[in-house]
Amino acid sequence: QVQLVESGGGLAQPGGSLRLSCAASGSIFDINAMGWYRQAPGKQRELVAIITNSGLRNYADSVKGRFTISRDSAKNTATLQMNSLKPEDTAVYYCKIVHFGSDYWGQGTQVTVSS
């Protein structure tokens, strides 16, 4: 059993910053990748950023240069530093890990960017 717990969402003003954290626990042996996805109202869930166990990072074009994903493999945690936030970043953000070929999702954390 694998559990993911996200934290760090909330309200930010345009141009502000937020930091999301994801902690994986349970029967974890080898996480292939950790990533963040988001889903805005009325829209499909989309990839925001992902980092592999070799440190390779991939970002959505809309967040490149503003968001940074990192992970601590020893602690099974991942963070998403979000800077220069825009109203269009408003969404529920989900952490996902790939573990032995299976996807595991967190419960989601709300990020709202508004003045």
pLDDT digits (tens, 9 = 90+) for 33-53: 999 999 999 999 999 999 998
Pairing of strands 46-52, 102-105: unpaired
pLDDT digits (tens, 9 = 90+) for 81-103: 999 999 999 999 999 999 888 99
Residue 112 host element (H or E): strand 109-113
Cβ neighbours, 10 Å, residue 45: 15
Return the C-alpha torsion angle 10, 11, 16, 20, nearest 10: 10
CB 47 within 8 A of CB 80: no
